[in-house]
A and B are shown apart, each in its own frame.
Chain A
Amino acid sequence: DTAVSQTPKYLVTQMGNDKSIKCEQNLGHDTMYWYKQDSKKFLKIMFSYNNKELIINETVPNRFSPKSPDKAHLNLHINSLELGDSAVYFCASSQGPNEKLFFGSGTQLSVL
């Protein structure tokens, strides 16, 4: 059973398109995150939700809009995709906002 699952695994799209990445966790955790990993493997937090409420928003362009319909799901919608958005996006969850993270397997986004 996958603890943190995200779809799709790979996403290839044209510049200017709008796309979404979905994430679900079955760990019963209260807090979920989106991280971006660039081509040099550097991981940086983008957003965090605790019980469906946004608690961290790390200077991410407003083309990126997270949505948490319930505490087990955190989706990421990206408008007007740009070349620089190409990266691997990881969803993660934790028991609380100050606990260790469990990561999904990532979504590799390629913008052409």
Chain B
Amino acid sequence: GQQLNQSPQSMFIQEGEDVSMNCTSSSIFNTWLWYKQDPGEGPVLLIALYKAGELTSNGRLTAQFGITRKDSFLNISASIPSDVGIYFCAGQPMFSGGYNKLIFGAGTRLAVHP
């Protein structure tokens, strides 16, 4: 089946540093979403992207929908301890019959050292 390659798998950074993670696919996607999951909780939507080239910010978070429609990145600026968690990219394949068959990346585990 279709897969998303999300990298890096994990990151350990100092508080205040900027973070960048990305997802790539071999096929075209209509939608890219970025979620964050805290321990013992479900994923929470951070940013949704719907058009190729779209650049969207949510506070210290910025995400872009790649021009080729096959990739997306998420940047976090000036990281703080509460940014700790697992970040997932998710994409809606172009040919999914109109139904929400989001495919998730394997996640980027972020640890922030105070």
Does B55 make an interface contact (CB < 8 A)? no
Task: Kindly supply a per-residue 1/0 record for chain B positions 84-105, scoring 1 wherever the CB is within 8 Å of any chain A CB and 0 otherwise.
Answer: 0010101010000011111010
**Residues of chain B with a CB closer than 8 A to A56's CB:** 99-101
A98 pairs with B98, CB closer than 8 A? yes
Closest-by-CB residue of A relative to B106 is: A42
- Size bracket, chain B contacts: 20 to 34
Binding site for A on B (CB under 8 A): 31, 33, 35, 37, 40-45, 48, 86, 88, 90, 92, 98-102, 104, 106-107
30 contacts between A and B (CB under 8 A): A40-B106, A41-B107, A42-B106, A42-B107, A43-B43, A43-B88, A43-B90, A43-B104, A45-B101, A48-B100, A56-B101, A58-B101, A90-B42, A97-B100, A98-B98, A98-B100, A99-B100, A100-B33, A100-B48, A101-B33, A101-B43, A101-B90, A101-B102, A102-B45, A103-B35, A103-B42, A103-B43, A104-B42, A105-B41, A105-B42
